[in-house]
């Protein structure tokens, strides 16, 4: 085993946890979560087993897009605290063995950013070329705005100068022009600044829009991927083990390009959107075939790269890579009401209410997540089974107050808090950290167990995947092998118990069972049952 030889690849077996400071814990009782509150809950994350904390944007912002409309890439939103508060939170995390990565949102700025304010003053402004301007929108088919319910075009006329500026997202978020070397240099300075304050990398927002704002227009970069290659090279010069975790929701073949092709050298990790979407299709059908196909369709990755696996993230649960009929199947199963859907392509729900609170099925899904080859990423509140607030609408539906106690525990302010609250069956009275901490059978303690087993199973971060043949369409059985160790995951996506005949060439150990004795075959699975089976070898005994 060569774990010590690959210490720089800490992310291969990391457990990542995404949170929004604004919704996590309000320490000064002003109704907004803050960095001081985050620092107070680092021990909770360490107890859970988190090894990498991903912070959503905490930068100064008009807050018209949940903090992704930024006015200062070097700043801290004063509502959340100061640079000192952030450094204290990072230091506390490091003391507990937790790394911190932050959002790098450099595909656009707020229209209130000083750069854009200066750029729109005059065509002669030194910041004019930091954005993309045209006299008339290009002829022909235009790209669709990311938020088609809010914008009808990616071009907006600026009355003062009579030119149009490009914005793939909202009109109040003008796209930066990375074909300008000055912009690329500034992005490198931003990266260097936060590395110096102790972060271990960046979750890079909307990478395809970041590297290629002009598409095939005149002036576009001959090779847009140079932007990511140069950024990765700069990152690694400053910090050899820092990472770029990219949001790249494109087909697998194109995702491979964003890793840097067969040679690597671009993004370190990417979210596996395709497997996530097919997981939901498999759950809707209670048939493992879509999930198995997605995993076998993954292209081989270059050394030093990894997939990020997830059940839920901070945006809408996009289903855009499914066919229209497949997407409708998932809508019918998990979001039949129109208010649960968004942009015609996704859901604004969390998993527990989608599964109607079925505890067996919920645990099966998270067991499955942690056995998929890759680095698991949790969204805050998943570990206790939080629900959503559909009345908040769009992506705000899942960005609700963290539920610490039966009374909420987010803030002592009576009303007027920044984040919405989950009410009803999945609200804090029924779902909260305090109650689950003391309940050995709670979802929180189950997720802690999964994280512990994942962390002691390096096969899941380093190994090779094999889908195992068995006769039940509702069962997903797979094996992940690394060196002379292997782990088998068996999951029943259906409500009926099944017996799964598996050909096991070694005795196996049940990692989720109460004992450590051999497991008989066929493997028995109850309704939505799951097993983690380690092949019993000299190396595996060191890992138990």
Q: Reduced to 3 states, what is the DSSP secondary structure of residue 360?
A: helix
Q: Which of 479, 509, 503, 507 is nearest to 491 (CA)?
A: 479
What whole-number distance in Å separates Cα of residue 201 and Cα of residue 52? 10
In eight-state DSSP terms, residue 169 is S
What whole-number distance in Å separates Cα of residue 121 and Cα of residue 126? 10
Kindly state the tokens that stand for 366.
Answer: 């998270």
Please count the helices (runs of H) and the strands (runs of E) in the chain.
18, 21
Question: Which residues, at least 6 apart from 90, have a Cβ–Cβ distance to it below 8 Å?
Answer: 100, 197, 198, 199
Q: Reduced to 3 states, what is the DSSP secondary structure of residue 159?
A: coil
Question: Are 296 and 484 contacting, i.e. CB atoms less than 8 angstroms apart?
Answer: no
Among 247, 272, 316, 383, the active-site one is: 247
346-349 contacts: CB < 8 A, separation 24 or more? 346/315, 346/316, 346/317, 346/318, 346/319, 346/320, 347/316, 347/317, 347/319, 348/316, 348/317, 348/388, 348/390, 348/393, 348/394, 348/395, 348/397, 348/398, 349/317, 349/388, 349/390, 349/397, 349/398
Cβ atoms within 10 Å, residue 31: 18
Q: Reduced to 3 states, what is the DSSP secondary structure of residue 290?
A: helix
Question: Are 190 and 89 contacting, i.e. CB atoms less than 8 angstroms apart?
Answer: no
Among 26, 69, 205, 272, the active-site one is: 205
Kindly state the tokens that stand for 50.
Answer: 């988190």
Is 247 a residue of the active site? yes
What whole-number distance in Å separates Cα of residue 129 and Cα of residue 163? 13
What whole-number distance in Å separates Cα of residue 176 and Cα of residue 391? 33
What whole-number distance in Å separates Cα of residue 354 and Cα of residue 51? 28
Range list of β-strands (E), 2-51? 16-19
Residues taking part in catalysis: 205, 247
């Amino acid at each position: 085993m060569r774990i010590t030889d690959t210490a720089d690849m800490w992310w291969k077996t990391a457990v990542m946890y995404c949170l929004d400071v604004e919704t996590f814990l309000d320490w000064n009782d002003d109704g907004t979560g803050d960095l001081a509150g985050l620092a107070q809950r680092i021990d909770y994350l360490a107890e859970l087993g988190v090894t990498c904390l991903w912070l959503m944007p905490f930068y100064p912002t008009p807050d018209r897009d949940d903090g992704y409309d930024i006015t200062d890439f070097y700043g801290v939103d004063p509502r959340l605290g100061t640079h000192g508060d952030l450094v204290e939170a990072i230091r506390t995390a490091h003391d507990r063995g937790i790394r911190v990565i932050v959002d790098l949102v450099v595909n656009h700025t707020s229209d209130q950013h000083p750069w854009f304010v200066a750029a729109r003053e005059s065509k002669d402004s030194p910041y004019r070329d930091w954005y993309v301007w045209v006299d008339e929108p290009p002829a022909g088919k235009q790209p669709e705005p990311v938020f088609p319910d809010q914008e009808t075009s990616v071009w907006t006329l600026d009355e003062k100068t009579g030119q149009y500026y490009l914005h793939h997202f909202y009109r109040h978020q003008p796209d930066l022009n990375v074909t300008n070397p000055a912009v690329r240099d500034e992005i490198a300075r931003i990266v260097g600044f936060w590395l110096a304050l102790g972060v271990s990398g960046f979750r890079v927002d909307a990478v395809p829009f970041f590297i290629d704002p002009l598409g095939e227009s005149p002036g576009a970069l001959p090779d847009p991927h140079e932007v990511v290659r140069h950024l990765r090279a700069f990152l690694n010069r400053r910090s050899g083990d820092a990472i770029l975790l990219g949001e790249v929701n494109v087909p697998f073949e194109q995702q491979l390009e964003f890793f840097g092709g067969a040679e690597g050298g671009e993004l370190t990790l990417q979210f596996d959107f395709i497997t996530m979407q097919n997981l939901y299709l498999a759950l809707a059908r209670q048939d493992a075939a879509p999930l198995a196909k997605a995993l076998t369709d993954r292209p081989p990755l270059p050394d030093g790269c990894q997939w990020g696996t997830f059940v839920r993230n901070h945006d809408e649960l996009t289903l855009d890579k499914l066919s229209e009929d497949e997407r409708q199947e998932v809508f019918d199963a998990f979001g039949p009401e129109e208010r649960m859907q968004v942009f015609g392509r996704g859901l604004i729900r969390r998993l527990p209410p989608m599964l109607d609170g079925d505890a067996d099925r919920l645990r099966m899904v998270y067991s499955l997540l942690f056995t998929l080859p890759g680095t698991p990423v949790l969204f805050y509140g998943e570990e206790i089974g939080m629900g959503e607030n559909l009345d908040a609408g769009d992506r705000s539906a899942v960005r609700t107050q963290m539920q610490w106690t039966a009374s909420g525990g987010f803030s002592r302010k009576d009303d007027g808090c920044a984040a919405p609250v989950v009410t009803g069956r999945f609200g804090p009275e029924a779902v909260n950290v305090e109650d689950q901490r003391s309940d050995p059978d709670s979802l929180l303690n189950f997720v802690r167990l999964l994280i512990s087993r994942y962390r002691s199973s390096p096969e899941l971060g380093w190994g090779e995947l094999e889908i195992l043949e068995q006769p039940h369409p509702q069962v997903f059985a797979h094996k992940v092998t690394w060196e002379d160790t292997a782990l088998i995951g068996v999951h029943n996506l259906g409500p009926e118990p099944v017996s799964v005949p598996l050909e096991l060439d070694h005795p196996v150990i049940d990692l989720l069972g109460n004992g450590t004795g051999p497991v008989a075959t066929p493997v028995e699975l109850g309704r939505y049952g799951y097993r983690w089976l380690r092949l019993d070898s000299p190396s595996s005994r060191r890992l138990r």
